[in-house]
Chains A and B, each alone.
Chain A
Amino acid sequence: MKTITRIFLKYLILATLIPAGFCQESNDPVFDAMKNELDRSINRLKIEDMHTPYFLSYRIQDNETATIQARYSSIVNINTNRKRFLYIDLRVGSPDLDNSNFVGSWGDVFNMRKPVVDENDYQSIRHQLWLNTDKAYKKALENLARKEAYLKSHPGKEDIPDFAAVESSVHLDKPASLKTDLPNWESKVRTAAGALKEASALQDWKVTCNVIAANKRYLNSEGSKHLKAVLIHQFVISATVQADDGQRLTGFLKYTTVNEDIPATDDIMLSDIDTMVKELEETASSPAIDEYSGPVLFTDFAAAQFISQLFVKQLSPARGLVTAEDWMQQYLPDGKLARRLNRRVMPEFVTVTDEPGKESYNEINLAGYKIVDDEGVKSETITLVKDGWLVDLPMSRLPCKKIRKSNGHALTVQNQMTIPTVTNLFIKPDKPQPMKKMVKRLQKLAKEFGNEYGLLVKQLDDPSVSNPYMWSDVSQDMPELMTAPLIMYKVYANDGRMELVRGLIPDEVSVRSLRDIVAMGKDEKVFNLMQPTGYSEFGYPIAIITPSILVEEMGFKSVEMRDPLPLSANPMFEGK
């Protein structure tokens, strides 16, 4: 049956070797259509006695994607795809008060991308720009009227301008194209999926390779024009086991690279898989803990996950949305950290910077690298945390109470509003500690808490990977701010002995845990990952460069969710 995939592969190779139809700026019908329809709309779009647009931007994003998926030891999907999408930002009113940052209905939260044909056909693209601009203009007029009405009945709610001024700019990257290497990617997927077949404790596993070449064309009525290109590879390996009490444990490896191929050689990947499987099997047979309160040391990927979930995700939005109905607010992200600007959020020995212009670090390409943001503003390096104080925020052109200008950190994530985001985040302690000292400190703290042991966490759960394996209702046991520890060890206070344990989920974790950091390691590492937003698990690429992190105190409770154990043996391993 390999014939099926071979035939399909042949087709895909042919299909993706063909140029994507991308034309350079001088002869680009897409940019031409954008320019001409933008000019026509900004000059002539008007309903009598109503506002005309004061700002209009188009972004057309071309996505070329390739996906190869395996389940157990077989390929289940090989697919390539080419799609083109349009995002429009049309504003009426004035920069002081316009239709933006307002949720009249749920549709406004999900800024749905509009599909555009991917043939570079000038007339067809203009046709779709015309229809979508018309719709956006009418919606903008209605939203502005509704926003004004809301603000009149809620005095003092918003006295901040809606749109920051910026200088126009032109930036044209060389377009990215999907240099399709399907045979290589398929081989990697097969190697990984085949290696997992050796582990008889596994109930199920999946290997997915996703490659996306995205080209974003941007044009606005202030004269900015950009072409930004990015090539992202993501390779995800996951496997699930069950403990005797039914707790499901899903281990995973994620390799994310930007503007370069998957760096993991087969040897590295196989070694990582070996470690993952061993830890997973040992964790499954390890004892479950009922509850824990005390010091926690986050090492390896868990350190990056800790920063991603408690720091990055809570940094935006810096300014809340105005909603037509008050009850809508409870379903919107509220930027728990953004509200603490100019307050201490971390210990004084920590500095955090965000450096979009840094292309690589320690010879690793950084996933958040960018020159300009999605609003066409030059991306600036910013110091977010200085001596433990939150002193700045990533900003889009939407001002907030304390910061009125953009620093070029706007990003439009698929089907979501434009939000300010971090790019390449560097966590820098003043006095980094060697790991030995970190562990000693963990033991000491445990003793001070009267605990027999402290916890060392190497990896947190990733619901986007683990939920599809669950048989039970996954809405149970979903912690709010931080996901459950997946690979964790007891570190005994008296002798430093380590023992794998399981069965905990965070209990009442808050962003205040960042202030409870008491030490950071010398073991700084680069982690490229897809960062979920407050609106969705669908992420965007960032880099987090962080050492291990020791937190003085965190609380955990017992995980409740269990799946029933299988009644029969997996035939793949029966008798082996």
Chain B
Amino acid sequence: MNRLSILVPVVCLLLSAQGIYSGEPVQMDLLNVMQQELDRSVSNLENAAEFPLYYLQYAVTDQRKLNIAVKNGGLEAPNSSVRRYLDVDLRLGSVELDNTHEIRGGNWRDNYSARRIVDFPLDADEDAIRAALWNETEYKFRKGLERYTKVLANRQVKVEEEDLSNDFSAAEPQQYSEDFEYAVVDTAHWQSILKKVGTYFSGYPFVIKSSASFAVTEETTFMVNSEGSRLKHSNRYIRFILNINGMAEDGMELSRYETWAAASMNNLPEEAEIMATAERLVEELESLIGAPVVNPYIGPAILRNRASGVFFHEIFGHRLEGHRQKSESEGQTFTKMLGEEILPVIINVYDDPTITQFKGVDLRGAYKFDDEGVRSRRITVVEKGVLKNFLTTRSPIENFPESNGHARRQFGRATVARMGNTIVQSDTAVSFDRLREMLIEEIKRQEKPYGLIFNDISGGFTMTGRRGPQAFKVKPLLVTRVYADGSPDEVVRGVDIVGTPLTSFSKILMTADDDAVFNGTCGAESGMVPVSAISPSILVSEIEVEKVRKGQEKPPILPHPGHDKK
């Protein structure tokens, strides 16, 4: 069989896919049309019902996507799209109390509605654009009236809330417009790398599943509101991801992955770096498959820089989001700790969406304006261990009457406070080698047989509500056991990190000077948003691990067909 001839159609298809990204700027002033319809809607609706409309915002997300991937050695057809989506946000009542106010004591659907995806015209068709805006405004207005009625009743029958802040705050109207050049993608180049790396993974019988993907997403947001803001700003998110899976004899599924994120094609890795990483991942997977399982353990550990970034994001960052300080259903871990020491004195934490790079790495959490039209800004969250700030939106919280530009969402959802680029910075740091020595010293001091180094964490979840315990769980992917007696380090498997936030952060002893970036996508109430976390490696005197939930499947009965000798 002539394999080459079979490949040709796919290659050609990928070559043609780059046409989508040679797009030209929009020929009509979309913001103008949106503004006209917004003005008309405000005039028609502000006093059309028993409750006044006092704020209206239109946002259109122009999204262009291209994805190419290889799975188990075979190429997927490229998937590309150009779509526009509409979000209409409106407020009825007054800034003191409006339709967005939390409804207490009901079911979760009272406060979190399903994602609403509204297709928006691609053509320069003013009639169609205004009709789409009108239709969605009417819908949201009706839903707003319905909800505001519920809010008023809820307030009458429930006890007084702890945080009596208003529902909306003033913000300076913003005017901003930027041109954006769509990326030119050499799809043939990336397709060839994907194929090469996919073929490489297929060469190993213990790699049960493998994938590699290249994705470009470009988003331009057009936004107007009834306060006079007019914004047009863009972001590009490029990702190259390698992922391999294997299975230990006891049925435990194991994986290794690596991600590169960039905002420009120039900042993506070269083929040699990708192939070297692929080799490393295969080696790591092989050692994980043969690794011993760790029993539940409490003892000293190091979280490597990127793993520490994920750890801070999950365990700490989410608890600083503004709406969690106000909502009566939230655990409010830090709400009343403003001005108190919540981290070791050497630690500072910032959230800074205004920076676009760190040590040459593009940051996914960068943005110019948030989804309420507020300009992004650097916020000092923790200074020398003391809590200074929360991440806020235009929904004020006690002691924070204004937004600091952290209202974010995935289109189709309501905004809440979210992180952007979360930066953990230490005033006192040592080299990583010294940090490792300090780990061994701590192991000896505690008379433990070993300590752990968490090299890589895939993510995790944290419970912030009052219904459950204020606990977290994060999922390490690559863990090394370090012995105090000088025995060689050993890769181990089968543990999750668990704990509660207040105790976990009090155990930080020292940090390294190896700050690095974790770029990811964070999911919460307002959907999936791109984020970054920057952190040095940290040494903790105590961390708790528990057994991971393990798959019960046996490894495949027959050998990998590419490696079957029979």
Tell yes or no: A155 within 8 A of B by CB: no
Chain A residues lying within 8 Å of B495, measured Cβ to Cβ, are: none
Q: What distance in Å separates the Cβ of A116 from its nearest Cβ neighbour in chain B?
A: 8
* Residue A94 is within 8 A (CB to CB) of chain B in the complex: no
Q: Does B101 contact A (CB under 8 A)?
A: no
In this complex, the member of A41, A137, A571 whose beta carbon has the largest number of chain B beta carbons within 10 angstroms is: A571
Check A568 against B202 for contact (C-beta < 8 Å). Answer: no
A76 and B557 within 8 A (CB): no
Binding stretch for chain B, among A127-135, A251-259, A300-308, A326-334: A127-135
Tell me if B83 is interfacial: C-beta within 8 Å of chain A: yes
Chain B residues within an 8 Å CB radius of A27? 1-2
1/0 per position for B418-459, CB-CB distance to A under 8 A? 000000000000000000000000000000000000000000
Q: Is the CB of B44 within 8 A of A134?
A: no
Question: Could you tell me if A126 and B128 are in contact, using CB atoms closer than 8 angstroms?
Answer: no
A77 touches B83 (CB 8 A): yes
A571 contacts B73, CB within 8 Å?
no
User: Does B80 sit within 8 A of A, measured CB to CB?
Assistant: yes
Cβ-based interface call for A245 (8 A):
no
Contact B142 A121 (CB under 8 A): no
Interface centre among A72, A74, A76, A118 (most CB of B within 10 A): A74
Q: Are A125 and B74 in contact (CB under 8 A)?
A: yes
Tell me, in angstroms, the Cα distance from A259 to B28 when the chains sit together: 40
Would A131 and B208 count as touching, CB distance under 8 A? yes
In the complex, the chain B residue whose C-beta lies closest to that of A138 is B553
Q: Assess the A568–B48 pair: CB atoms within 8 A.
A: yes
Chain B, residue nearest A10 (CB): B19
Question: Is B304 on the interface with A (CB-CB < 8 A)?
Answer: no
Instruction: Let me know if B26 and A4 touch, CB within 8 A.
Output: yes
In the complex, what distance in Å separates the CA atom of A571 from the CA atom of B45? 14
Give the docked Cα–Cα distance between A497 and B286 (Å). 82
CB distance from B245 to the nearest CB of A (A): 10
Would you list which residues of chain A between 3 and 31 have a CB under 8 Å from chain B? Answer: 3-5, 7-8, 10-11, 14-15, 18-21, 23, 27, 29
**Smallest beta-carbon distance B21→chain A, Å:** 9
Contact B17 A77 (CB under 8 A): no
**Are A74 and B16 in contact, with the CB atoms below 8 A?**
no
Chain B min CB distance to A446 (Å) = 40
What 1/0 mask marks residues of chain B from 523 to 566 whose CB sits below 8 Å from any chain A CB?
00000000000000000000000000000011011101110101
Asked if B381 is an interface residue, CB under 8 A from chain A, the answer is no
Q: A471-B139, A572-B131 are known contacts. Are A41 and B558 too (CB-CB below 8 A)?
A: yes
B82 within 8 A of partner (CB): yes
How many angstroms between the C-alpha atoms of A471 and B561 in the bound complex?
53
Is B72 at the interface (CB under 8 A from chain A)?
A: yes
B209 cross-chain contacts in A, Cβ below 8 A: 131
B121 within 8 A of A: yes
Q: How far is the CB of A572 from chain B (nearest CB, A)?
A: 4
B23 contacts partner chain A, Cβ-Cβ < 8 Å: yes
Report the bound CA distance from A568 to B139 in whole Å. 11
Assess whether A567 is in contact with B49, with CB atoms less than 8 Å apart.
Answer: yes
User: Are A127 and B127 touching (Cβ within 8 A)?
Assistant: no
Within residues 482 to 541 of chain B, which ones have a CB less than 8 A from any CB in chain A? none
Chain A residues with CB under 8 Å of B367's CB are none
Query: Does A197 touch B at the CB level, under 8 Å?
Result: yes
Known: A5-B123, A37-B561, A568-B45. A18 touches B9 (CB 8 A): yes
In the complex, chain B residues 64-122 whose Cβ is within 8 Å of any chain A Cβ = 70-84, 119-122
**A44 at interface by CB-CB < 8 Å:** yes
Chain B residues whose C-beta falls within 8 Å of the C-beta of A40 in the assembled complex: 558, 561, 564
**Is A71 close to B, CB under 8 A?**
yes
**Interface: B41 (CB within 8 A):** yes
Residues from chain B with a CB closer than 8 A to the CB of A121 are 3, 6-7, 73-75
Contact B45 A567 (CB under 8 A): yes
Q: For B85, give the chain A residue with the smallest CB separation.
A: A76
Name the residue of chain B whose CB is nearest to the CB of A11.
B19
Interface residues of B in 19-57 (CB under 8 A from A): 19-20, 22-24, 26-28, 30, 37, 40-41, 44-45, 48-49
A513 interfacial by beta-carbon distance below 8 Å: no
Closest chain-B Cβ to A145's Cβ sits at a distance in Å of 15
Given contacts A40-B564, A121-B73, contact A21 B6 (CB under 8 A): yes
A203 at the B interface (CB under 8 A): yes
Known: A4-B23, A568-B41, A571-B37. A131 touches B556 (CB 8 A): yes
Q: How far is the CA of A125 from the CA of B6 in the complex (A)?
A: 13
Does B156 reach chain A (CB closer than 8 Å)? no
Supposing A119-B7, A127-B560 touch, asked if A69 and B119 sit within 8 A by C-beta, the answer is: yes
CB <8 Å contact, A74 and B560? no
- Is B124 an interface residue, CB under 8 A from the partner? yes
In the complex, A124 Cα to B72 Cα: how many Å?
Answer: 6
The answer to whether the Cβ of B399 comes within 8 Å of any Cβ in the partner chain is: no
Does A71 contact B73, Cβ atoms closer than 8 Å?
A: no
Q: Is A46 an interface residue (CB 8 A)?
A: yes
CB closest chain-A residue, reference B146: A564
Q: Which residues of the partner chain A approach B121 to less than 8 Å between Cβ atoms? A: 1, 71-72, 74-76
Are B84's CB and A76's CB within 8 A? Answer: yes
Cβ of A117 under 8 Å from chain B? yes
A73 at the interface (CB under 8 A from B): yes
A169 within 8 A of B: no
B266 within 8 A of A: no
B residues near A3, Cβ cutoff 8 Å: 23-24, 26-27, 124
Q: A14-B19, A20-B9, A123-B561 are in contact. Are A72 and B41 (CB under 8 A)?
A: no
Question: Which of A75, A123, A570 has the most B CB atoms < 10 Å from its CB?
Answer: A123
Of A4, A116, A137, which contacts B122 at CB under 8 A?
A: A4
B10 interface residue per 8 A CB criterion = yes
Are B202 and A127 in touch, CB under 8 angstroms?
yes
Q: Does A81 contact B (CB under 8 A)?
A: yes
Binary CB contact string for chain A from 30 to 70 against chain B (1 if under 8 A, 0 otherwise): 00100011001100111100000000000000000000010
In the bound complex, what is the Cα–Cα distance between A571 and B37 (angstroms)? 8
Cα A248 to Cα B238 with chains together (Å): 44
Determine whether the beta carbon of B125 is less than 8 Å from that of A118. Answer: no
- Distance in Å: Cβ of A219 to nearest Cβ of chain B: 16
Is B141's CB within 8 Å of the partner chain A? yes
**Within 8 Å of chain A (Cβ to Cβ): is B153?**
no
What is the CB-to-nearest-CB distance from A118 to chain B, in angstroms, rounded to a whole number? 5
Q: Which of B3, B84, B127 contacts A122 (CB 8 A)?
A: B3
Q: Min CB distance, A312 to chain B, in Å?
A: 32
The yes or no answer to A89 lying at the interface (CB within 8 A) is no
A309 interfacial by beta-carbon distance below 8 Å: no
Let me know if A21 and B127 touch, CB within 8 A: no
Nearest A residue (CB) for B135: A204
Using CB atoms, name the residue of chain B closest to A471. B139
CA of A568 to CA of B75, assembled, Å: 51
B41 cross-chain contacts in A, Cβ below 8 A: 568
Measured between beta carbons, the chain A residues less than 8 angstroms from B84 are 76
Asked whether A2 lies within 8 Å of B124 as measured between CB atoms, the reply is yes
Are A75 and B558 in contact, CB atoms less than 8 angstroms apart?
A: no
5 tightest A-B CB contacts, nearest first? A124-B74, A1-B124, A117-B74, A74-B121, A74-B128
Q: Apart from A73-B128, A134-B556, what are 15 other A-B pairs with CB-CB below 8 Å?
A: A2-B27, A4-B122, A5-B122, A11-B17, A11-B80, A15-B78, A21-B10, A29-B1, A72-B121, A72-B127, A75-B123, A118-B74, A122-B3, A126-B561, A128-B71
**Taking beta carbons and an 8 Å cutoff, which residues of A are in contact with B?**
1-5, 7-8, 10-11, 14-15, 18-21, 23, 27, 29, 32, 36-37, 40-41, 44-47, 69, 71-79, 81-83, 115-131, 134-135, 137-138, 197, 203-204, 471, 564, 566-568, 570-572
B-side residues, CB < 8 A to A, are 1-3, 6-7, 9-10, 12-13, 16-17, 19-20, 22-24, 26-28, 30, 37, 40-41, 44-45, 48-49, 70-84, 119-125, 127-135, 138-139, 141-143, 198, 202, 208-209, 553-554, 556-558, 560-562, 564, 566
Interface CB pairs A-B, < 8 A, 26: A1-B26, A1-B30, A1-B121, A4-B23, A15-B13, A15-B78, A27-B2, A37-B561, A45-B557, A72-B128, A73-B128, A74-B128, A81-B79, A120-B6, A122-B3, A123-B202, A127-B202, A128-B74, A131-B208, A134-B556, A135-B553, A471-B143, A567-B141, A568-B41, A568-B134, A571-B134
